[in-house]
Amino acid sequence: MGKYSQDAQQLLELVGGKENIAAVTHCITRMRFVLNDPSIADVKKIEAMKVVKGSFTQAGQFQVIIGNTVADFYNDFIAVSGIEGVSKDAAKSAAKKNQNPAQRAVAAIAEIFAPLIPAIIVGGLILGFRNCIDSLYLFENGTKTLCDLSQFWSGLDSFLWLIGEAVFHVGIPVGICWSVTRKMGTTQMLGIILGLTLVSSQLLNAYSMASTPASEIPFWDFGFFKVNMVGYQAQVIPAILAAFTLVYLEKFFKKITPQVVSMIIVPFCSLVLAVIIAHFVLGPIGWKIGSAISSVVYAGITGPVRVLFGAIFGFAYAPLVITGLHHMTNAVDLQLIADYQGTMLWPMIALSNIAQGSAVLGMIYLQKKDVDAQEVNVPACISCYLGVTEPAIFGVNLKHVFPFICGMIGSTCAAIVCTATGTTANAIGVGGIPGILSIQPQYMLTFAVSMVLAVVISFGLTVVVGKKKGLGKGTAQAEAEQITEAKAEENVPAAEECHSLKAVLDGEVIALKEVNDGVFSEGVMGDGLAIKPSNNTVYAPADGKITVVMEESKHACGLTLANGMELLIHVGIDTVDMNGDGFQYLIREGQQVKAGDPLIIFDRKKIEAAGHPDTTVFIITEEGNAKNIQIKTGMTAKAKETEVVAFD
């Protein structure tokens, strides 16, 4: 019987027994269950177990936090349950069964947009900058913009539109069609061509649709019926629907077409039919939905239930951006300005942008130690605060879902105050924080109050929910906690007493503060040093016992010396993402090693190709009985020979 057999049996019963488990696996610190019926699991009793540190549900998986001994616990659980474990990818696939259609749809959208994020971020920053120089009337008593005063800024504004138009007018529909075909494994070039047909210069630009009279809209005349020649610039849903139509048409024709003529029949039939369906059916339906929404907005914003309308609009505007139909609100804004010398709709749009940006700000706070995430978070937040929400919504908030909802709630609260006070804007165009400059002077204070609500509520909710979901720790910290919290239950066999630790690698020895990682460089896990390696083999710094290994990633190990000192050797930064590719263990858990024994072999070229530094961290996570510890850095070390740590 294993050490955790009784706890494993208890957990098995509390999750609903073997018959309620569709799949089970584990990661660094958690058991990951895919349950047939998640409601059966007794969460309170599970969290009351001594061996359990907490639980939560994410992406269809019920995750039980065990800690560093999760591998041993998992083995005992498999033994007592008689269930065969699966890989993490298999568990994720099975977990989709626990997601409702909306969750699966959002997940699919996130996957489609992932390759488009860099372009969306660039476009968002450019459009946000253009908003500042061509839409803010800051000069000559508020009558002129920077572009009005300077030919240079006017020329720059015009030039930057070349990129902005390419990203948002053309890039999004074309990119979506390409990404869908890529995701579904069909012909990507056909997807690109389909996308181009949605934004052709032959068509009426989608941005001009609201201001073009119906009689002036161009059309294709087929004799017995006509079809409007309307473009779908910046449109999301028509592009997604068209792309999936192309995918399934191509798969259908591949299935029924003889191989000898497949190269001709399949692309021709699938592309032509997809274009016809996109322009004859899917596009017009999208515009009908947009027109209906515009009518509701116009009636609601001026009626007796305006506060209720404000709440609904504040909550629904961000989802409207996903569809691309938010451009239809321009027609309502222009009509309100013409009839009432101002619009009460645009302030709510600006507040929604601010709320979504503040949700991203919450993610910046939660993921402050995650460098990769911040490369997306920070620019997305900036562009959102400048009025362009797509990078924030598609690049960050929809990816995690809960920030998107938190932003919607913050927007709702702000919109209620905004509509209750009748806050009105003189014009449209600046949709983020600078939007306060377009507000009529008598309403600037109420807009400022609404803006504070949008920021505080969206940011606060995102941080609270994110922490409950376990965010807030960087990858390195999670890994380090897994290793340093692990305690070997059995006694470490006696070894020759030592008073120094030798270098584990050849290379330059540097101080921890020079390591580009917040957890290690700040000494969160303990004092130590780092080595920029010139070889590819890690050696034992002293006699000891291997007490922690990471079987999947193989990029780190923990040793315990006879004096109780515990060491962490971590090869590279964020190399856990490589899933063991390029790493080879020469040791096993529980093995007694001598000073100079080889522990890990790693491939420096693979680490570099994966985009990670190969700087190896060497930390004393527990001092044991050692005293007067001295860390030696600022030198070139020779593995197994150079003394890097001395102690009594």
Token pair belonging to 56 = 């939560």
Q: How does pLDDT run across 261-297, given as a tens digit for each residue? A: 999 999 999 999 999 999 999 877 766 665 565 567 6
Q: How confident is the model at residue 11 (pLDDT cuts 50, 70, 90)?
A: very high
Token pair belonging to 48 = 């009351």
State mean pLDDT over 152-166. 90
Q: Which entry of 27, 177, 269, 413 is annotated as an active-site residue? A: 27
Long-range contacts of the stretch 477-480 (C-beta < 8 A, 24+): 477/369, 477/518, 477/519, 477/524, 477/525, 478/28, 478/29, 479/28, 479/550, 479/556, 479/570, 479/576, 480/519, 480/520, 480/524, 480/525, 480/568, 480/570, 480/619, 480/621
State mean pLDDT over 200-207. 86
> For residue 49, what pLDDT is reported?
86
> For residue 233, what pLDDT is reported?
80
Taking the CB of residue 392, how many other CB atoms lie within 10 A of it? Answer: 36
Q: Of 456, 410, 419, nearest to 315 (Cα)? A: 410
- Please say whether the beta carbons of 313 and 348 come within 8 A: yes
Q: Is the pLDDT of residue 2 over 60?
A: yes
Q: Is the pLDDT of residue 449 over 90?
A: yes
Q: How confident is the model at residue 404 (pLDDT cuts 50, 70, 90)?
A: very high
Sign, CA dihedral 282-287-288-292, equals positive
Q: Is the pLDDT of residue 236 over 70?
A: yes
Find which of 166-175, 230-239, 264-273, 479-488 is predicted with most confidence, using mean pLDDT: 264-273
What's the mean pLDDT when you consider all of the chain?
Answer: 82
> For residue 475, what pLDDT is reported?
46
Q: How confident is the model at residue 65 (pLDDT cuts 50, 70, 90)?
A: confident
- Please say whether the beta carbons of 493 and 499 come within 8 A: no
DSSP state for residue 404 in the 8-state scheme: H
Q: Is the pLDDT of residue 362 over 80?
A: yes
CA distance 509 to 637: 7
> For residue 151, what pLDDT is reported?
94
> For residue 176, what pLDDT is reported?
87
Q: What percent of the chain has pLDDT over 70?
A: 82
The more confidently predicted of residues 277 and 498 is 277
Q: Is the pLDDT of residue 179 over 80?
A: yes
CA distance 38 to 560: 40
Q: What is the CA radius of gyration of the chain?
A: 30
Looking at this protein, which amino acid is placed at residue 113?
A: F
The more confidently predicted of residues 471 and 89 is 471
Beta bridge partners of 530: 510, 617
> For residue 337, what pLDDT is reported?
64
Q: How confident is the model at residue 486 (pLDDT cuts 50, 70, 90)?
A: very low
Q: How does pLDDT run across 509-527, given as a tens digit for each residue? A: 999 888 877 667 777 677 8
> For residue 487, what pLDDT is reported?
39
Determine phi and psi for 19, rounding to 5 degrees. -70, -15
> For residue 476, what pLDDT is reported?
47
Q: Of 471, 451, 464, nearest to 355 (Cα)? A: 451
Q: What percent of the chain has pLDDT over 90?
A: 34
Helices (H), 511-615: 518-521, 604-609
Q: How confident is the model at residue 492 (pLDDT cuts 50, 70, 90)?
A: very low
Q: How does pLDDT run across 594-608, given as a tens digit for each residue? A: 999 999 999 998 888
Q: Is the pLDDT of residue 16 over 60?
A: yes
Q: Is the pLDDT of residue 354 over 90?
A: yes
CA distance 534 to 514: 18
Determine phi and psi for 41, rounding to 5 degrees. -60, 130
Q: How does pLDDT run across 71-105, given as a tens digit for each residue? A: 889 889 998 888 876 555 555 555 556 566 655 66
Q: Is the pLDDT of residue 60 over 90?
A: no
Least confident range of 44-48, 416-420, 459-463, 591-595: 44-48
CA distance 403 to 371: 19
Q: Are strands 219-221 and 592-593 parallel, antiparallel or unpaired?
A: unpaired
The more confidently predicted of residues 289 and 452 is 452
27 in catalytic set: yes
